[in-house]
Chain A
Amino acid sequence: MTEPVLFVRNLRVEFTSRRGTLVAVDDVSFDLAPGELLGVVGESGAGKTMTGAAVLGLVEPPGRIAGGEVLLSGRRIDNLPPAELRRIRGREIGAIFQDPLTSLDPLQRIGDQLVETIRTHMPLSAAHAKQRALDLLREVGIPGAAERFGNYPHQFSGGMRQRVVIALALAAEPRVIIADEPTTALDVSVQAQIIALLRRLARDHGTAIVLVTHDIGVIAEIADRMVVMRAGRIVETGVTRDVIHAPTHPYTQALMAAIPVMGRRDVAVKPQAETLLEFRGVQKSFDLSPPLLERLFAGASRRIVRAVDRVSFHIGRGETYGLVGESGCGKSTVARLVAGLYRPERGEVRYAGRRLQMIFQDPYASLDPRWCAGDIIAEPIRFHGLLSGEAAISRRVDELLGQVGLSPADAAKYPHEFSGGQRQRISIARALAGEPDLLVCDEPTSALDVSVQAQVIELMRELQQRLGLTYLFISHNLAVVSNIADRVGVMYLGRLVEEGPVERVFTAPRHPYTRMLLAAVPDLAMLGIERPPPAGEIADPLAVPPGCAFHPRCPLAFDRCRAETPALRADAAGAVACHAADMDL
């Protein structure tokens, strides 16, 4: 076996505050062979990010490395003086962080940032450094590298910025790269591209990569071996395939069981019920135009984003309708149109029920921090006058808390005293308090850890059965939608491109975009089928391509797609808006 390039032994990181000492990383050991891809996975608070920071020597006070050692190419680095550690960082060990939007200096051209980094570590002339910078940009897949060299970070899309960040990490050809959630801020199709890029770099350069992530799907796609962390400790280590298919530690077993897998559900086909909600050719635009003067004098054009473009669908009573798509596709705007937060500018939204309520994505922002849980839940009851008398309201609040798995004592607590999952339960209780017929759920589990996500989904399903609720369930996570929805709609750049029963859409997709989305879902089964990552990125919503908006990325596109927008055509198995699919029918 080759000598490990990185060697971590009994690493311990502590945070000291007046409330006592918090151990963020406890007795963590692992090693990394040259060119190896090691996945470090865990839920929030597992200490995985802090482990990466400790290896890089970037733990900030009041945190400190309290024990253990880190060896890089056989040399101990955790106790080096800052100046020497700095010389190692970038040259022998590089880093990639989560958010490409904030990782780059906004005031400097990306070329200058690259050249600066290269010349810090390599004795190259300015001209040679520039040559190397251009090579790096090409290598990470930035088209037109020579022209893009002088651009500022804000001129790049998120995916392209993350490529620049990777180029910067590679600048001095380090032997190890610590990548902390490098794909979390990206859309699934771009995530697949970045994963493919990292895999290629590890292979071509022999760079060893520690990939820190909460997403086991990403690990399954890319990592040779993996480490599972929980509460600062490593609970399981092993070859990725073994850990995923046959976890030995109970925590890992529970974690794997909680991961939503496509179609793992018995679908009982529900009888056709009366229509509760109907969208008819609904359209909603946002005007992001620059001020009038700018348009008059600088010839700037009006900028109108058509967030929702002639969308029609209906939801029957007692049904769960899933809406999926990548960022900017308009699914959240649909949610707000349903909830009445926006008015449609064209078409109509018909709602046959009495009240509706909404559940939001961010458990930290969806509860008023100044109100206690009891008052939050009671607000819809009081506002609609559903019950009279404080005693009756208080009894109802206790009952609702019980329904979502909390206790009556929680009513007096404030939002900051709850965990993310508990807050989402309070959100659900508040929504139920309004006795709605329809519940609009906008990414209700996206901000939660996998195990908590599984519980919340289970709760929602149970409540639906018990109370006969109807859900509009919006998510970017196809697996979650496949587990809860009866029918599903797929949106791309403001338009509904495909619709149908969930098992048909996910097993026999008709629209090429649906196929692309499904192909980008990480392969947890690890079938090892080589899948080329999807092409391109979502177009700027301000400049939607003419014809079929998907045609620049579509493998099936032909002339008609570039000129004519396909209509949504329905048949027994659902509906699709695609010229190519029309020809198949």
Chain B
Amino acid sequence: MIAFVLRRLLQSVLVLGVVALVAFGLFQFIGDPVNNMLGQDASVAERARLRASLGLDDPVVLQFLRFIGHAVQGEFGMSLRNARPVSVLIAERLPATVELAFSAAFVALALGIPLGIFTALRRRSPVAQGVLALSLLGVSLPTFVTGILLVMVFGVYWDLLPTFGRGDVVDLGFWQTGFLTLSGLQSLVLPAFTLGLFQLALIMRLVRAEMLDVLRADFIRFARARGLPERKINYGHALRNALVPVVTITGLQLGTLIAFAVITETVFQWPGLGLLFIQAVQFADVPVMAAYLLLVALMFVGLNLAVDLLYYAIDPRLRVGGFRGRA
């Protein structure tokens, strides 16, 4: 168990290290910070002084270590685009993205898993076939098209729900939440559904496929031959086994919500990290890109780790030594 977690942690550190290297590379090879800070017209002596004071003359390895040291403290310097500290920008934008992603994940899981079970157990019913066809639409519609269509129908045509921004937010001091106001919740509906729809369809199809696979397994046939009730076979045996791979893939898929938030936030002008990032990419705002990258990497690595632990908890074959190991 300890070794398992340690191995995972080591892998996580490896991933973070590689990402930090990429982020550092962005700083190294893209744009000259001296130019950015002093402009094109500064004298050679001024440049040299600034270079020395910024430590740009130090060996690359030292600079990298310094970069990591700063990153650990959340220090990424100033945004090139709007001349504010990157850490402040991120702290401002984080709550919006986290609340959006959380709501979308809720939509995807709360609907995706039951629908997946339903379509697997009632494979031949017309309703299940219909749901399955719709799910294909769900994975085929680009997120931004879904968003635009929802805006057209619910925002423009019926004028039911707000189509941009977060609405009113309540400042809790460390966190600005949209969960506590009516306009905040209303504003959340369309973006959350847009972001969650793709994952919903994906999770549903995954649960269905795994269930169908398990239902063909020998031990299900043997359970039938023992006369166990269908309910117990379906939920006690088949579902539990189907959920083992589902947990892994679903956990990782939820990570992609953060990535797809970039698109959703663009469509709905949602003031979150994604919008910040896409503007940074468009303007080659390296400090913001680097910070976003590392933050997202940290989130993914954390999620991966959580998924692994969960996987470990539900599959006894990992937890308890097998016959081969017992002897």
List A81-122 residues whose CB lies under 8 Å from chain B: 86-91, 94-95, 97, 99, 102-108, 116-117, 120-121
- Tell whether A152 pairs with B6 under 8 Å between CB atoms, given A104-B219, A116-B232, A120-B226: no
**B7 to chain A: closest residue by CB:** A293
CB distance from B311 to the nearest CB of A (A): 12
B115-158 vs A: 1/0 string, CB under 8 Å?
A: 00000000000000000000000000000000000000000000
**B228 interface residue (CB < 8 Å to A):** yes
Cβ of A300: which chain B residues have Cβ within 8 Å of it? 3
- Tell whether A95 pairs with B229 under 8 Å between CB atoms, given A297-B2, A298-B2: no
**B324 interface residue (CB < 8 Å to A):** yes
Q: Is A542's CB under 8 angstroms from B219's CB? A: no
- Tell whether A86 pairs with B227 under 8 Å between CB atoms, given A152-B320, A157-B323: yes
**B319 to chain A: closest residue by CB:** A152
Q: Is B244's CB under 8 angstroms from A165's CB? A: no
Main secondary structure of the interface of B (DSSP, over half): helix
Q: Is A97's CB under 8 angstroms from B218's CB? A: yes
**B224 interface residue (CB < 8 Å to A):** yes
Give the contact stretch, choosing among B51-59, B160-168, B169-177, B235-243. Answer: B235-243
CB distance from A95 to the nearest CB of B (A): 4
**B49 interface residue (CB < 8 Å to A):** no
Q: Is B225's CB under 8 angstroms from A152's CB? A: no
Of A106, A121, A540, which is within 8 A of B327 by CB? A540
Chain B contact residue count (CB 8 A cutoff): 38
Q: Is B2's CB under 8 angstroms from A108's CB? A: no
Cβ of B237: which chain A residues have Cβ within 8 Å of it? 105, 108
Chain A contact residue count (CB 8 A cutoff): 46
Complex: how many Å from CA A89 to CA B218? 16
- Tell whether A89 pairs with B227 under 8 Å between CB atoms, given A156-B323, A157-B323, A300-B3: yes
Cβ of A154: which chain B residues have Cβ within 8 Å of it? 316-317, 320, 322-323
CB distance from B246 to the nearest CB of A (A): 13
Task: Pick from B218, B222, B322 the residue with the most CB of A within 10 Å.
Answer: B222
Complex: how many Å from CA A105 to CA B239? 11
Q: Is B7's CB under 8 angstroms from A165's CB? A: no
Q: Is B3's CB under 8 angstroms from A542's CB? A: no
Of B222, B228, B229, B320, which is within 8 A of A165 by CB? B222
Q: Is B226's CB under 8 angstroms from A97's CB? A: no
**B230 interface residue (CB < 8 Å to A):** yes
22 contacts between A and B (CB under 8 A): A56-B225, A89-B227, A90-B225, A90-B227, A90-B228, A91-B227, A94-B225, A103-B219, A106-B241, A108-B240, A120-B229, A121-B227, A155-B321, A155-B323, A155-B326, A169-B226, A293-B10, A296-B3, A540-B323, A540-B324, A540-B326, A542-B325
Beyond the given pairs A90-B225, A107-B240, A107-B244, 14 more chain A to chain B contacts, judged by CB atoms under 8 angstroms and listed by A's residue number, are A86-B227, A94-B226, A95-B225, A103-B222, A107-B315, A107-B316, A120-B232, A152-B316, A154-B322, A155-B323, A157-B323, A168-B222, A169-B225, A294-B7
List the 5 closest A-B pairs by CB distance, nearest first.
Answer: A90-B227, A540-B327, A95-B225, A298-B3, A89-B227
Q: Which chain A residues have a beta carbon within 8 Å of chain B's beta carbons? A: 56, 58, 86-91, 94-95, 97, 99, 102-108, 116-117, 120-121, 151-152, 154-157, 165, 168-169, 171-172, 290-291, 293-294, 296-298, 300, 539-540, 542-543
Q: Which chain B residues have a beta carbon within 8 Å of chain A's beta carbons? A: 1-4, 6-7, 10, 217-219, 221-230, 232, 236-237, 240-241, 244, 314-317, 320-327
